[in-house]
Chains A and B, each alone.
Chain A
Amino acid sequence: MTDYSSLLSLIPMLPLLSAVILLFSNPSRLWVSILAVGSITSVALISLFLNYVYWQQTDFILKASLGSWIDIAQLSIGFGLYLDALSLVMITIISGVGALIHLYSTGFMYQDNSFKRYFTYLNLFVSAMLFLVLADNLLLLYLGWEGVGLCSYLLIGFWYQDSSNNFAANKAFLMTRIGDTAMAIGLFLLFTHLGTLDIQEIQAKAHTVWSLSDNTIASLCCLLLLGGAVGKSAQFPLQNWLPDAMAGPTPVSALIHAATMVTAGIYLIARNSQLFQLAPDVLYIVALIGTFTLLLGASAAMVQSDLKRILAYSTISQLGYMFLALGVGASASAVFHLMTHAFFKALLFLSAGALIYSLHHEHNIFKMGGLFKKLPVVAVSFAIGCSALASLPFTSGFFSKELILEQVIASNHIALWWVAVLGAFITAFYSARLFFVVFLGQTQLSPNNNPTKAMSMTLTILCIFALFGGIQPTGLTTLMPPLSSVNLTFLQHWLPIILPFIAISVAWWMFKTNRFGKTQHSTFKDIHQFLKSGWAFDSIYNVIFIIPFKYLCQLNKHDAIDLFYRLIEKISSVLHNIFSKFQNGQLRSYNASLVIFCILAFTWFISGELIR
C-alpha cells in the first residue's frame, strides 16, 4: 500500500509555512485571504483524503518524521507525527472547522486594519493545534500545547487598544499556565519513572512498571496531566478564564471553543487513556470534575444576558460532559461528543458573529428580538445550532450526548447520571431561551449590514454538519472500545429524550409570559447574581489568591533579599567616598601624606627597637 507519510507531514507544516510567510511579508488583503484560507483548506482536503483512505480500516497507524529535535545519551526526541483513528478524527475536526472559520473570517474581519496579523495568528493557532494532536511524543505535544496557549493569548487580546481585552488575555494565559505547569511536572515524573516520552511506549511501559494495586506514582502522573487538561479545557477549578476569553473577535471564539484549544485537554486524556486506566481514582475525579463543571456551566449560561457569554458557559458545560465520559472510561464517546460539539458550537458562534456583525457589535440579547424575518439565514443556523446543543432527537448532539449518558449508566454511576440529565435539561432550557429572546418577540434593533456571502456559505455548510454529523467514526470504537452495553430501564431510556422538550416548553411559557430578563424577588435576585457570575468563582479566587498575593507584594515592596545587595552597594559607595578624598590631585597633600607616613613609620620602627 502506498505511503502517505509525506502527506501527513504536510498537515501541520502548511499552516505554519503560511503563518511564517504572512509574518515576514506584506501582501494585499486578497493574497492574505488566499494564503491563509488556502493553506488550511488544503490541510482539510488532505485530512479528508486520509479519511477516505482509512475509511475501511479500523486499525491503522501512519507515522512521519520531520527530523530530530533533542538527541542526547538517554533522551531522543524528534518531530515525529503519529496518526491513528483518534488523531485522524481530531485533525479532521481541526482542519475542517478551522478552514470554515478561516473562510468566514475573511468576511468578518475584512474591515479590520490588522487583517494580516489576524490571519498570521490564526494560521499559527491551527498549526500548533495540529502539532499537538499529531505528536508522537509528549514533549512535542507540549510544544503544540504551549503554542496553542500563546496563540490564544494573542488572539483574545487581538484588539489590544482596549485594556480590558488585555486583562482577559492575561487571565486566560495565566489560568492555563497553572495547568501547564502541573502538566510539565507530570511529564518530568513520567520520564524519570518510565525513561521515555513516546506516547505509545508510555502506554505500553506503564502497564509493566505499574499495576492497579501499586499505582501511587501512576495516579500522581495522571493527576498532574489532568491538571494540564483541566486548565486548557476550562474545567473546575480553572474554568473561569473561558467566559472572559470572549473578548477576542467572534471567529476566534469559535476556533477556541470548537476546533482548537479547549479540545486539547480532552484529547490529552483520551490519548493517554490506557495510562489513566491504571488510576481509577483519578478517573473518578475526572468524572466528578466533569459533572460539577457541566452543572456549573449550564446553570451560569441560564442567566447570562451577553450572547457570547451564554455560548461560553455552554462550552464549559459541554466540555464537562466530555470529561464525564472520559471519567467513566468511555473515551470514544467523549471524542465523538467533541466532534459533534465542534460542529454545532462553531455554527452557533459563527452565527452569533454574523448577528453581532449585523447589529453593530451589540452583545446584549435583551436588546435584540424579532430578528427571525430580518436575518433568516442566521436565524435558521441558530435554530439548528441550538437544537443540536439541546440534543433534540436526530441532530448530531443528540447521538453523542445519548451515548455519553448511556455509558454513564453502563459504568454504574447513577448519581452522576441524574446530574448529567439535569444538566441536559438546563442546556435545553437556555438554548431555547437564547433562541426565543433573540429571534422572536418584538423587534428592537434592526440590522444594518447583512452577512457577507462567505459568512452565509460557511453557515450553510456547518448547518449540514450540525444536523447530520452524528455518525461515530468506526476507527474510534476499535481504538478505545466502549463499555459493555446494558439494558436501560424505561425511564433511563426515555427521560433524556423527553426532557429537552419539557425544557423548551417551560422556556416558551416563560417567554410568552415575559419572565426573561426580569428578576422578581430579592431572594431570586441573589441566586441570579450568584449564577450569573459563574458561581462567584472570580470573587472566591480574588479572596483566596489575589488579595493575599497583593498583600504579600505590599509587604515585600522593598524586596527583603534586595536589602542584602543594597547593603553591599552602600558599603562600597561609602568606601569610595572616603578613598576618593585622598585622590584630590593636590601635589602638596600627597607629599604631606608621604611625610606623615614616613614619620609615623620611622617612629614606630625606632620605638620598637628602643623597647627591645
Chain B
Amino acid sequence: MIPISWILFLSLSLFSIGIFGVLARRNLLFILISLELMLNAVVILFIAGSRYHSVPVANSDGQIMYLLVLTLAASEIAVGLSLVIHMYRQHHHLDIDKLNKLRD
C-alpha cells in the first residue's frame, strides 16, 4: 500500500502548482484551470484521508466529499467559463492585469 505521506506530498505539490498558476498566470482561462487543480489537490487529500481511517470499519466519506466537490467545481466552472466568454467578447483579450475597471 502506498504510504499516506506520498499522497500528502502529491496533494501539496498539486496545490502549490495551482497557487503558482493563479498567481503567475495572466490569462483568465489558465487561472480557472489552476483553480481546478487546487480543488483536485484538496479532494485527493480527502480520499486518502478516508482510506487511511477505514482500517477497522469501511469508510467512504472521502469519496462522497469528492462527488460534492466535483459538482461544485462543475457548476463553478460553468459560471466562470461563461463569464470568460463574455469578457472575451467585450475586450478581445483575457489579461486580468488590464481587467481592473472595478477599482474605480
Q: How far is the CA of A588 from the CA of B97 in the complex (A)?
A: 8
Q: How far is the CB of B41 from chain A (nearest CB, A)?
A: 14
Q: How far is the CA of A88 from the CA of B19 in the complex (A)?
A: 98
Judge whether A586 and B23 touch: CB under 8 Å.
Answer: no
Q: Mark B17-42, 1 if CB is under 8 A from A, else 0.
A: 00100110010000000000000000
Residues of A within 8 A of B102 (CB): 585
Q: How large is the interface on A (under 10, 10 to 19, 20 to 34, 35 or more residues)?
A: under 10
Within 8 A of B (CB), among A404-432: none
Residues of A within 8 A of B104 (CB): 585
Residues of A within 8 A of B97 (CB): 586, 588
Check if A560 is an interface residue, CB within 8 A of chain B: no
Which of A584, A591, A592, A595 is within 8 Å of B100, CB to CB? A584
Judge whether B19 and A587 touch: CB under 8 Å.
Answer: no
Check if A208 is an interface residue, CB within 8 A of chain B: no
Check if A28 is an interface residue, CB within 8 A of chain B: no
Judge whether A585 and B23 touch: CB under 8 Å.
Answer: no
Check if B74 is an interface residue, CB within 8 A of chain A: no
Residues of A within 8 A of B91 (CB): none
Check if A577 is an interface residue, CB within 8 A of chain B: no
Q: How far is the CB of B52 from chain A (nearest CB, A)?
A: 20
Q: How far is the CB of B28 from chain A (nearest CB, A)?
A: 9
Residues of B within 8 A of A584 (CB): 100, 103
Q: Mark B92-104, 1 if CB is under 8 A from A, else 0.
A: 0000110111111
Judge whether B96 and A588 touch: CB under 8 Å.
Answer: yes
Q: How far is the CB of A246 from chain B (nearest CB, A)?
A: 64
Check if A583 is an interface residue, CB within 8 A of chain B: yes
Judge whether A595 and B99 touch: CB under 8 Å.
Answer: no
Which of A583, A585, A591, A592 gathers most chain B CB within 10 Å? A585
Residues of B within 8 A of A586 (CB): 96-97, 100
Q: How far is the CA of A310 from the CA of B23 in the complex (A)?
A: 92
Judge whether B103 and A585 touch: CB under 8 Å.
Answer: yes
Q: How far is the CA of A587 from the CA of B28 in the complex (A)?
A: 10
Judge whether B103 and A591 touch: CB under 8 Å.
Answer: no
| CB-nearest residue of chain A to B19 | A595
Q: How far is the CA of A591 from the CA of B35 in the complex (A)?
A: 12
Assuming the contacts A586-B97, A587-B96, asked whether A595 and B103 have C-beta atoms less than 8 A apart, the reply is no
Which of B19, B22, B100 is within 8 Å of A585, CB to CB? B100
Residues of A within 8 A of B22 (CB): 588, 591
Within 8 A of B (CB), among A568-612: 583-588, 591-592, 595
Residue count of chain B within 8 Å CB distance of chain A: 12
Q: How far is the CA of A466 from the CA of B22 in the complex (A)?
A: 104
Q: How far is the CB of A387 from chain B (nearest CB, A)?
A: 86
Q: How far is the CB of A286 from chain B (nearest CB, A)?
A: 73
Within 8 A of A (CB), among B71-104: 96-97, 99-104
Q: How far is the CA of A584 from the CA of B103 in the complex (A)?
A: 6
Q: How far is the CB of B74 from chain A (nearest CB, A)?
A: 22
Judge whether A588 and B23 touch: CB under 8 Å.
Answer: yes
Q: How far is the CA of A595 from the CA of B22 in the complex (A)?
A: 10
Judge whether B103 and A583 touch: CB under 8 Å.
Answer: yes
Q: How far is the CA of A283 from the CA of B53 in the complex (A)?
A: 108
Q: How far is the CA of A583 from the CA of B104 in the complex (A)?
A: 9
Residues of B within 8 A of A588 (CB): 22-23, 26, 96-97
| CB-nearest residue of chain A to B99 | A587
Q: How far is the CA of A584 from the CA of B97 in the complex (A)?
A: 10
| CB-nearest residue of chain B to A588 | B23
Q: How far is the CB of A50 from chain B (nearest CB, A)?
A: 77
Q: How far is the CA of A587 from the CA of B103 in the complex (A)?
A: 10
Judge whether B23 and A595 touch: CB under 8 Å.
Answer: yes
Q: How far is the CA of A595 from the CA of B97 in the complex (A)?
A: 18
Residues of A within 8 A of B99 (CB): 587
Q: How far is the CB of B20 from chain A (nearest CB, A)?
A: 10
Residues of A within 8 A of B26 (CB): 588
Q: How far is the CA of A565 from the CA of B26 in the complex (A)?
A: 45
Residues of A within 8 A of B101 (CB): 585
Q: How far is the CA of A493 from the CA of B96 in the complex (A)?
A: 110
Q: How far is the CB of B17 from chain A (nearest CB, A)?
A: 13
Q: How far is the CB of A592 from chain B (nearest CB, A)?
A: 6
Q: How far is the CA of A595 from the CA of B24 in the complex (A)?
A: 13
Q: How far is the CB of A600 from chain B (nearest CB, A)?
A: 14
Residues of B within 8 A of A583 (CB): 103
Residues of A within 8 A of B100 (CB): 584-587
| CB-nearest residue of chain A to B101 | A585
Q: How far is the CB of A590 from chain B (nearest CB, A)?
A: 10
Residues of B within 8 A of A592 (CB): 23
Q: How far is the CA of A591 from the CA of B22 in the complex (A)?
A: 8
Residues of A within 8 A of B23 (CB): 588, 591-592, 595
Q: How far is the CA of A587 from the CA of B80 in the complex (A)?
A: 15
Q: How far is the CA of A585 from the CA of B104 in the complex (A)?
A: 8
Q: How far is the CB of A290 from chain B (nearest CB, A)?
A: 75
Within 8 A of B (CB), among A223-252: none
Q: How far is the CA of A592 from the CA of B20 in the complex (A)?
A: 10
Q: How far is the CA of A586 from the CA of B95 in the complex (A)?
A: 11
| CB-nearest residue of chain A to B104 | A585
Q: How far is the CA of A426 from the CA of B100 in the complex (A)?
A: 90
Q: How far is the CA of A591 from the CA of B97 in the complex (A)?
A: 12
Q: How far is the CB of A8 from chain B (nearest CB, A)?
A: 71
Q: How far is the CB of A173 from chain B (nearest CB, A)?
A: 52
Q: How far is the CB of B22 from chain A (nearest CB, A)?
A: 5
Residues of B within 8 A of A585 (CB): 100-104
Q: How far is the CB of B78 from chain A (nearest CB, A)?
A: 20
Q: How far is the CA of A586 from the CA of B31 in the complex (A)?
A: 14
Q: How far is the CB of B21 from chain A (nearest CB, A)?
A: 11
Residues of A within 8 A of B96 (CB): 586-588
Residues of B within 8 A of A587 (CB): 96, 99-100
Q: How far is the CB of B99 from chain A (nearest CB, A)?
A: 7
A-B contact pairs, 19 of them (CB 8 A): A583-B103, A584-B100, A584-B103, A585-B100, A585-B102, A585-B103, A585-B104, A586-B96, A586-B97, A587-B100, A588-B22, A588-B23, A588-B26, A588-B96, A588-B97, A591-B22, A591-B23, A592-B23, A595-B23
The 8 closest A-B pairs by CB, nearest first: A585-B103, A585-B100, A587-B96, A591-B22, A592-B23, A591-B23, A595-B19, A586-B100
Known: A588-B26, A591-B22. 10 other contacts (CB 8 A): A584-B100, A585-B102, A585-B104, A586-B100, A588-B22, A588-B23, A588-B97, A592-B23, A595-B19, A595-B23
| Interface, chain A (partner B; CB < 8 A) | 583-588, 591-592, 595
